[in-house]
Structure formats: structure tokens, C-alpha cells
Amino acid sequence: MNRRTFLGVMGQGIGVAVASHLMHTRTARAAPAGRGTLVMAPSFVIRSLDPGHVLEPVAEMVCHAAYDSLVTFEGEDLQTPKPSLATSWKVSSDGKTYTFALRPNVKFVSGNPMTSADVKWSFDRIINLKANPTFFLDGVEEVLAPDQQTVVLRMKAPQPSIVPILSSPSLGILDSKVVAEHGGESGLDAKTKDQAEAYLNGHSAGTGAFSIEGYTPNQEVVLARNPRHWRGLAAMERIVVRNIPEASTQALQLARGDLDIATGLGRDNAQTLRRVSSISVQSSRVATSFVFMVNEDPQLSGQLSNPKVIQAIRYALDYDGILTIAGPGAIRMAGVIPNTLPGSLDPREAVRTDRDKARALLREAGLASIKGTLMYSSDVTNYGIQYSLLAQKIQADLAAVGIAIDLNGLPGTISLQNYRDGKAPALFGGYAADYPDASDFLVYLPGRLVGKRMRWPANATPATQELAQWGDEAEAEGDLRKRVALLQKVQRRLLEIGPYAPLFQPALPWAYRADLRGVTFHSVWGVDFYAVRRV
Amino acid sequence: MTLRRYITRRVLVLPLMLVGITLLSFVLSHAVPADPISANLGEQAAANPAAVAAFRQRWGLDRPLPQQYVVYLAHLARGDMGVSISTHQPVAIDLRQHLPATIELAVAAMLLSLTLGIPLGIVSAVRRDSVIDQISRGGSLVGVSMPVFWLGLVALLIFYARLGWVPSPGQLSPRLPRPPFVTGFIILDALLAGQGDTARDAIAHLALPALVLGSYSVGVITRMMRGSMLDVLGEDYVRTARAKGLPRVIVTLRHAARNALLPVLTVIGLSFGGLLSGAVVTESVFAWPGLGSYAFRSATSLDFPAIMGVGVIVASVYVLVNLLVDVAYAMVDPRIRMG
């Protein structure tokens, strides 16, 4: 046997062994394409393309293209929900019943008409799957479909944030007939019975401007224009979303014209691309809050959890220097709500670096030597921000006022685990909005998601109890003006008594070929392919 | 011992080795002090006990570890490698989609290394200390010591971005139709579907990454071949052959090179395994959708079934290639199977 034949045999041997277990092969067939094809390259992790399981940025982008939700946002806006499959909505006087009027004559890609039964089925499925996106509908008591064109959400408590929440690509409306035919379940036992995910990973069953034509995990998603889309045909015929993990490779391909949009660029790449005239380099602010946090359990964080020390840390940090690490486009945050959302504090209100004040606060605390440990993900670069660099910067800033910080760099998965288990002594991180509404950032409050992880229960003190109460009020307030005032009050108080130092709102560096129009980057679903055209 | 018995004995040991490999990868991957829930569930769901319970149940993580292992083995024996936590599809299908790309790359790199390395090594040895020898020694040193990551980026910058000789990174130009999935080997599939353009495009895409990935083994093989050749050239039988008046080419190729190839075979086998598992970096630079990127992704998301699947496949290929090398060895040198 010579070398050539044995390699062939080896390849076949493996092929046969694996093929025996092959249930379905996927044929991603694409027509020859040119100007009608948009090629984009993020660096992606897609775990699923079934809206019921989706909660990753690129998967959300694909689902946004393939499934319409009841409401949506335009371009990069995060403030004003716009009609999509729902043409209008109204709230009952007690704030607990939301009634949506559905757009008439909308058809799914299968040709089936979209009715309130599909909406109810889709929402019930999300609620009962108990998967990643289930929390979106936690506040929903019941979904009703009184007639074909009307959907009613009965809430457990008043929750105005439900309207922006409904824009989530995970809450896109599914063709209940088609999905049920492929094993979809929306009943109480959906969590064990539903088998539709495999189908929805290779096909889509929505009313969106595009439908999924092919998906090869880890490699690429191909979308084809939906000929039945209710807003009319999209300008692009086909979208290829290809996984290109290496940022420099993305930049090279974009410069050569082999790529139309690159969203996985590093900051250096973006800087280089600025010199190429055929490319438009953007830096889009994302609805993410970067915050330094300290654990309230002194067993873990030592003297750092002392309220005076936390205040001192806030004055000791060199925010201008930190903004340089955060990169172009990043801006200060005065509170924990990103500046692009109603309810945020004016960045001019933010704490200014004042080392003398920091030292004075430490003297007031009357502690001999102040030590602590900062845990961070040593292998993570997010929004172009190198976490290890930021950790070193914080260490140096705190050393300047006499707080000695040990750095504990861990692999991302392990530091995330520690943080979620409430075992991180001190850390910084970006909390990204799941939906475009300020209430998503109340997680920092005592007793809520992040608060609990910082071992800060709602009943810690009368002050925390009151703060938690204000948070609940802000969340339920339907009047926008009153709501904004409450959210601002909550944030100011949070910084007086909470274990946080807001750092900045980051910006994502990305770029596209200058012959494209209508390309925007939305904080939740990225690029809206329907709006993109080539000139 | 006949050749057949030798092969049979080696093949029979395979399943045992595989069980050992699965046990090792299982223990190692569960030794990581983190939970796949963190890596795979969203923030909000991870804080929700009902969602966490549903996740554990869905992926079988609610059972005790030894039981998980036994269940895994039982499924594996039936050819079922489980379902990947991060892609939500059967690991066998994932591997079927990722492995051919890596094999294509590794085979191309190997062919390049052989066609470059062996002749270069022979020429270097025969013309010892000549200019050719100096160049090939210098070149192989560079090939062995250059970080693949850097080499790949520089090669891309020169041959793709500046000169435009090779197409964009990736397996295929995005604007070309992908051939229907038959074998998974994209060049083969394109030919089967009669898409000549696609096949040509795929070969063009393969050239640069194969060269970069192969640079290390070219270096190793050249150096090994040269050294081994120098040893053999000093042997008595070579001198005898020359004294008999045989043409120089015959002496060099038939008498010397054939014997010099023996130790090189082992290196070839080992570097092929290395090409398979070591392609991670090359695959990342060239956006090559192969096993390397899959393995990396599985590891970072603590996707146990996928990690195990990659382990089993890479180990099997390694073991298989070694077996084939040993068989080739035994065929070339009968003394080996006697031992």
C-alpha cells in the first residue's frame, strides 16, 4: 500500500464510521451571486437558530432577519418602539393588560397566514421551553388570542418594559403549523417534548425579510430573500454570514473587497482600515454598562467592601486613562444605565478623579493597610477592550491612593462561574442589554441578579430595602417622565450605598464597504439586513 | 510472525486504547473547575433554577459522573457520540462537517511536505555543504522555528492582500455555490457535482494554508531525510554499489534513499497527527472551518460530548496513522515484525 492510497482509505474509513450515524445531511446550495449577495463576517458563536433558544448576538441578528416580532426599533435607536407585526398597542388603566392589534394580510414564508394563534403559540412555547429566552416573558401571566387579529398579554404586575422586550429576536413569531409539524410544542411539557430545534437550525418559519437557506454550525449561515415579505422585497437577494474568528483576517478580506461588513474587528484593525477610502469605519455605542464591582461579603473582599473604601475607589480611578483603554467611541457613564437609554444619568454628572478626596476617605475609614483581590478574565477581549490591560490599570490607580490589589486572572469560563456563584471578591465587567430598556439594568440593585452575585441582598439594611422598593416602582411606572425621574433617583442612591463604580459605555469597532447604504449596528440585533442595499 | 498476524494483533488492541482515551479525556474535561451552565446559558437563565434544571436534564448533566461516563461509552459503542451542548446537534454530524476540512488541509500539507522535504533532504545530503544544502538547511530551520500564526498572517498579507495571487481566507469564495454535501471533502464534492469552477476555487483556497501548515513538517522532514541520508551514504553497501559501477542516480535513489526513508517514516506519521491537532492556529488565521476551530470552541464552552468526540477522533486517527506507519515499516524492513 503506498502512501497515497492509505491516506484515501483512512479518510473513507472515518467517513463510513461517522456516516453510519448520520441522520440528515445538509445541503447548503447557493445560486451564483454577485451584487445581490451580501457577505458579512462576525466572529460568531451560534448555539442555536431556534428563536426559543437564541441569546447570542449573531444568532439574534439572523433571527431578526428571519422572524418579525410584534414591535421593533429603527436603525440604532433604543428609545422608541415601532410597529412591526403589531400595528398598535394599548395599555389598560391598571397597567396590567396589553392589547396588540396585528397587521392584517401578513404571510409566513410557507404561505400560511399569520394570526393571533401563531403569536400565542410562539409566546407559550418560549414560556414553557424554560430555555435562555424564557426570562423575557417572566412577567406574563397569560397570553390570549380573543380574535384572529388581536393578542392580549395579561401581566402579573404593571410592566411597561414589556413593549421593548417584545422586540427581541427570540420573541419572533413562528409559523405554528410548520413548527408543530416538525416537532414543535408550546404546552406545559414543551421543555421535554419540543423537538423543533433541529428543524429550525436549518430552516426558518417566520414572516421575516429573509429565510434561512443553510446553516453549517461554526461556519456559516446563508439567508435567502423571502419573496412573500409584507414590507416588500429586501434589496439584497442573499446574505452570507461567515465565521471568521481572526480579526486581522477579517480586516484583510474587507480591504480586498471579499467581505462587505466586518463586525469582529479589533481596534488596531479599525484604525488601519480608516486609511482605506473604499471602507467606512464605524464605532457604534452598545447598550452595555462597564462597571467595577466589589463583593459585599467581607470574608471575600476584605476591607474593599467597607463603604468608605468603595467611595475612595470611585475617586481614585483615572477615568480618562480608562477611557483610552476602552477605545474610540466609548463614553463615561454617571450611573449603571447606558447613556443611550431613557433613564440614564448625564455623563457630566459622573464622578471626577480626585485622589486627595480618595485618600481623605480612606483616612476616615481608619484602616491600617488596605488590600484586596481583583478577579478578571485574562483571555477576554470584548468590544476591543483587553481585560488584562484594564485590570492592570485599575491596580495601578488604586495603588496610587494606597490600596494594594492582587490581580487574579482566570480563564473566562472560570471567572464567569465564580462571578455567578457570588465568589468573586472584586471584578469589572460589561453587562449587555438583553432588550432595549433601562429596566434591564436594574439587575445591579440589591437582591437582583448582579446585586445577589455581589452578596448584596435586598434586606441587608433599611436603606437597601428602600432602594429595592424604588427599583420596583420605577419598573412599574407607566408614565415615561416619572419613570425617568425614578430611574435617576435609583441610580444616584445606588452609587451612594452600592458596591459599584461605573466605568464607561463601550463602543464596538466595525466597518463596511462604502458602496453599501442603510447599514446600521443595533445594540441587540446588530445589522438589519432588510435596510441594506448596494449603490 | 506473518504480516497479517502482526496487523491483526495491532488492530485488536485499538478498542482498548480507545476506551483508555475516552476515560482520560472524560476525567480531564470534568476536572475543569467550571460548569457548562456558565458557558452555555445566558445570564438571566443561569440565575433561574427552573432553567438550570431544564438545562441539566436536557444534557444529562443531572446524573452522577461515573454514570454519565458509562452512558457515554454505551452510546459510543453503538456509534452515537451524543449531542453537542454548543451546537445543539449530534456530535457525529458536527465532526462529519468539520473533519473533512481538516483532513483536506492536513493531507495537502503532508503532500507538500513530502514532495518538498524528501527531495530537498536527499539533494542536501548528496551535495553536502553546497549552496543548495545551505539554503535548504537554513530554510528548514526557519520552517521549524517560525510561529505558524505569524507566518500565516505574513503569508496572507503578501500573497493575498498585496499580490492577490491567492483567494480570500476560507474554504470557498463566499459568492460561489457550495457543492451539495456528499463526502464533506469540498473539492471532491464539487467534482462529483460537476462544478469544475468550485473545485478549482477550493484548490486555490487550499494552497496557502496548506503551505503554511506544512512549513513545519517540511522543515522536519528535510532535516530528518538529510541526516538519515548522510548516515546511509557512509554505509558499506552504498560504497559497494558505487564500486560495482552502478549509475550514481540508481545508487542514490534505490540503494541509499530507500533505506534512509525508514526513520523518516516515523516522523511523517507523527507529524501527520500533529497536523490534524495542530491545525487550530492555521485554521483560525485562514478562517478554515475545520476540527481545530471546533475543538477550540468546544473546549471554551465546556461542551463535554464535543470535547470527547474530538478526542476520540483525533486519537483514532493518530493511532491509525501510527499503525499504518508501523505496517509500512514492517513491509520495508522484515526484521521488525519478527521481533
Question: Phi-psi region for residue A525, left (φ > 0), alpha (ψ -120 to 50) or beta?
Answer: alpha
Q: Can you tell me the mean pLDDT for B74-89?
A: 86
Q: What is the mean pLDDT of chain A?
A: 90
Q: What is the pLDDT of residue A514?
A: 94
Lookup: cell for A406 = 492582587
State whether A47 and B40 contact (CB < 8 Å). yes
pTM for this model (two decimals): 0.85
CA distance A63 to B173: 24
State which residue of chain B sits closest to A452, comparing Cα positions. Answer: B47
CA distance B276 to A133: 37
Give the orientation angle of helix B196-233 with respect to helix B131-145, to 10 degrees: 120
CB-CB neighbours of A514 under 10 Å = 13
User: B125-142, pLDDT tens digit by residue?
Assistant: 888 888 888 888 888 888
Under 8 Å CB pairs connecting chains A and B tally to 213
Helix (H) or strand (E) holding A99: strand A97-102
User: B218-257, pLDDT tens digit by residue?
Assistant: 888 898 899 998 888 888 888 888 888 888 888 888 788 8
Q: Can you tell me the mean pLDDT for B34-38?
A: 78
User: A265-285, pLDDT tens digit by residue?
Assistant: 888 888 889 989 999 999 999
> From the CA of A23, how many Å to the nearest CA of chain B?
8
pLDDT at residue B170 is higher than 60: yes
CA distance A282 to A286: 12
Q: Which amino acid is at A79?
A: Q
- CB of B285 within 8 Å of a chain A CB? The answer is yes
Which residue of B38, B48, B163, B326 to mutate against A (max A Cβ within 10 Å)?
B38
Lookup: cell for A171 = 420573541
CB B144 within 8 A of CB B219: yes
> From the CA of B299, how many Å to the nearest CA of chain A?
10
Nearest to B222 by CA among B114, B121, B119, B113: B121
Nearest to A190 by CA among A137, A142, A131, A141: A131
State whether A15 and B321 contact (CB < 8 Å). no
- CB of B38 within 8 Å of a chain A CB? The answer is yes
Chain B environment of A413 (Cβ under 8 Å): 32, 34, 38-39, 300-302
State whether B99 and A434 contact (CB < 8 Å). no
CA distance A510 to A519: 11
Q: Can you tell me the mean pLDDT for B69-81?
A: 88
> From the CA of B33, how many Å to the nearest CA of chain A?
7
Q: What is the pLDDT of residue A230?
A: 96
> From the CA of A95, how many Å to the nearest CA of chain B?
24
State whether B92 and A22 contact (CB < 8 Å). yes
pLDDT at residue A25 is higher than 70: no
Q: Can you tell me the mean pLDDT for A237-259?
A: 89
Edge-first strand order for the sheet with A140-147 is A86-91, A97-102, A150-155, A140-147
ipTM value, please give it.
Answer: 0.78
Got the DSSP string for B162-186?
Answer: IS--S--SSSS-TTSPPPP-SSS-H
User: How confident is residue A15, by pLDDT bands cut at 50, 70 and 90?
Assistant: very low
User: A370: which strand partners?
Assistant: A403
CA distance A349 to A334: 6
Q: Can you tell me the mean pLDDT for B268-282?
A: 75
User: How confident is residue A6, by pLDDT bands cut at 50, 70 and 90?
Assistant: very low
Q: What is the pLDDT of residue B337?
A: 58
Q: What is the pLDDT of residue A5?
A: 37
Residue of B41, B87, B160 with shortest CB distance to A218 = B87
CB A89 within 8 A of CB A151: no
State whether A14 and B103 contact (CB < 8 Å). yes
Q: What is the pLDDT of residue B209?
A: 92
Give Cβ neighbours of residue A488 (< 8 Å, ≥ 6 apart): A335, A343, A345
Which residue of B55, B81, B96 to mutate against A (max A Cβ within 10 Å)?
B96
Helix (H) or strand (E) holding A86: strand A86-91
- CB of B196 within 8 Å of a chain A CB? The answer is no
**Burial group, residue B320, by CB count within 10 angstroms (0-12, 13-18, 19+):** buried
Write down the residue that cell numbers 436603606 correspond to.
A463
Helix (H) or strand (E) holding A314: helix A307-316
Nearest to A286 by CA among A243, A331, A244: A331
User: A334-370, pLDDT tens digit by residue?
Assistant: 999 999 999 999 999 999 999 999 999 999 988 878 9
Alpha helices per DSSP H over A400-532: 412-420, 449-453, 462-476, 480-497
User: How confident is residue A31, by pLDDT bands cut at 50, 70 and 90?
Assistant: very low
User: Could you give phi then psi for residue A328, rounded to 5 degrees?
Assistant: -60, 140
Helix (H, G, I), strand (E, B) or coil at A159: coil
Write down the residue that cell numbers 449603490 correspond to.
A535
Asked whether the CA dihedral A221, A222, A228, A230 is positive or negative, the reply is positive
Q: What is the pLDDT of residue B281?
A: 80
Q: What is the pLDDT of residue A24?
A: 32
Chain A environment of B176 (Cβ under 8 Å): 30, 32
State which residue of chain A sits closest to B78, comparing Cα positions. Answer: A21
Chain B environment of A39 (Cβ under 8 Å): 174-175
Q: What is the pLDDT of residue B330?
A: 75
Chain B environment of A197 (Cβ under 8 Å): 88
Chain A environment of B90 (Cβ under 8 Å): 21, 23
CB A46 within 8 A of CB A217: yes
What part of B 205-264 touches A (C-beta under 8 Å)? none
